Amino acid sequence: MSGVYLKEQSYGKDQVRLVKVIRTGKWHEIVELTIRVLLEGDFADSYTKADNSLIVATDTMKNTIYILAKQSSNVNRIEIFATEIGQHFISTYSHVSKANVWISKHKWTRMLVNGKFHDHSFLRDGEDTRNTKVVITKKGGPKDVTIEIESGLKDMLVLKTTGSAFYGFLRDKYTTLQETNDRILSTSVDATWTYNISNISLISQIPFDDIFDSIRQITLDTFATHNSSSVQATLYLMAKIALEKFQQLSSIHYELPNKHYFTYDLDRFGLKNTGKDTDIYYPVADPAGLITATIARTKPKL
């Protein structure tokens, strides 16, 4: 067909589920991951000429992930493990110019039994995940590469029963929402932060685990203690504290959808459920407000 061209392409393996048990004597760790790998490079002929000679089969990619997981001591450190996966593909196949690797780490929390942490038993106490995306681009030879790393958390459901207000917003003829000085505030936190990395050899020096744990705690602490006038204001404060604490980060992005809980009208039943007497609410799944923002570090003036 004339007049068309292959503008861009990538392909790979998605939803690779992996569990690794790390044993140190009787003390076990469990790591559960979901992985996606997409490759870019000299694959145009497979689309335009039905020539499969350069295709790395996606089944091969799946097998490679399991083999690397067996051999790696960094499966629990998902940024490092994603880098190992990406480096394998760009160094093994000369026609692969870029490897995109996403990893989600699912939550397993060690059980507390009789006041002590159990050595091999775990529970899932939330559906929030830890995530990373690593992009390795080959500029020249296998060692001439650049790396981009984003990390974050997703689906961390939080709620507080007071300490949140929403008033002073623009009103016009379409506005029906009432102002409030006290409301339930709930959201499912998605946060992504971007690292400053000048050289791939430096990634081993970045305390990815500590940064993740700290940003997660900053998010929780700020949500709980900030006397919120809006989700926007609370979001900005979370990001500001994180960027001020970690110079390794260039920006942080939050997505905070409103999980609405509305006061139920009980006046018709002769019961007061307003003001200080409000204690019965009903959740509304949708439609929902969605507040997002990316807060970046100010570049120094030259």
Q: What are the catalytic residues?
A: 13, 58, 260
Alpha-carbon span 241 to 244, nearest angstrom: 5
205 is in an annotated binding site: no
* Residue 231 is assigned to a ligand binding site: yes
Q: Tell me which H or E stretch contains 46.
A: helix 44-48
Closest CA to 197 of 152, 130, 142, 151: 151
Helices 208-225 and 231-245, axial angle in degrees (round to 10):
150
Residue 183, marked binder: yes
Question: Is residue 232 annotated as involved in ligand binding?
Answer: yes
Q: Which of 85, 95, 74, 88 is nearest to 36 (CA)?
A: 85
The response to whether 59 counts as a known ligand-binding position is yes
Q: Give the span between the Cα atoms of 25 and 269, in whole angstroms.
A: 63
Contact indicator for 251, 297 with CB cutoff of 8 Å: yes
Binding site residue list for urate: 58-59, 166, 183, 231-232, 258
Binding site residue list for O2: 258
Binding site residue list: 58-59, 166, 183, 231-232, 258
